[in-house]
Amino acid sequence: MNILFTLCGRAGSKGVKGKNARDFLNVPLVWYSMAGIALYKEQFLNAADHIDVVLNTDSEDLIGLVKQVRNLPITVLRRDESLAGDRVPKVAVILDCLKRSEDLFKTDYDVVVDLDITSPLRTVKDIKNAIDKKISREETDVVYSVAPSRRNPYFNMVKEENGFFCKAIPSNFTTRQEAPVFYDMNASIYAYSPQALKSKEQATFFNSNCDAVVMADTGILDIDSEEDYELMQVVAGYLFANKEEYKKIYKRAEIWKTT
């Protein structure tokens, strides 16, 4: 099995300035995703398997942080200006990674795995689960990570309509347990079909032929503001202190500060 891991982060960020190159609990944020890849290679890679890891970015700071870690080879793909705008879908960046990696490494990949830099709270088992499900379901275009939703559009989510507020989806459910189950896409792990990346419409990529793996509900916040950034570190501090699988990621990333 040939796996391409992608790490993607641009220099600009409107919500949290330079968030992709910032520290998170005194460790560079990108190192958490790198630690997940390193542990996956050590724990689950078979002799016949092959992994390439690329960083797609226009951030010199991010490049510098990645190059500090010498025992996880990562190839830098400098992002073209056309892919650095606010409205560019991330699928387009992943496709760019795939095409350039195929050409550079002369490899046909079975799966492309993107780990979001700003989602540090994942375990190596989460990564393995996504890859395993994608490989076992060849017909899927992508397997992505989700967490149980805290709100349900049939029960306790509302919208404004004609001057009033009403349920997002009209229903007669009186308890949340009666309503259909929903999940949040937590933007942590995406295991893509290379063929789908090349052929599927990017704007509607996630509307069909998808599957998911359920992660623990740790991504309570997306890091889109300074407050999110501070509060997420409180959550992470608890997990790293009390949950062994999360602690392994943190310890691997932390040790790179001394090597």
Q: Is the pLDDT of residue 221 over 80?
A: no
Cα 63 to Cα 249: distance, rounded to the nearest angstrom: 21
Q: What is the pLDDT of residue 85?
A: 83
pLDDT in tens, 126-150: 999 999 999 999 999 999 999 999 8
Q: What is the pLDDT of residue 9?
A: 93
Would you list the domain boundaries of the chain?
2-147+183-258
pLDDT in tens, 4-31: 999 999 886 666 777 889 999 999 999 9
The architecture CATH gives domain 2-147+183-258 = Alpha-Beta Complex (3.90)
Average pLDDT, the chain: 94
DSSP structure string for 57-91: ES-HHHHHHHHT-TTS--EEEEPPGGG-STT--HH
Find residue 52's DSSP bridge partners. 4
Q: Is the pLDDT of residue 220 over 70?
A: no
Q: What is the pLDDT of residue 15?
A: 60
Cα 181 to Cα 51: distance, rounded to the nearest angstrom: 36
Higher pLDDT, residue 174 or 86: 174
Cα 120 to Cα 8: distance, rounded to the nearest angstrom: 14
Q: Is the pLDDT of residue 178 over 80?
A: yes
Cα 98 to Cα 87: distance, rounded to the nearest angstrom: 20
- Whether the CB-CB separation of 180 and 154 falls below 8 Å is answered with yes
Token pair, residue 142, equals 């992508």
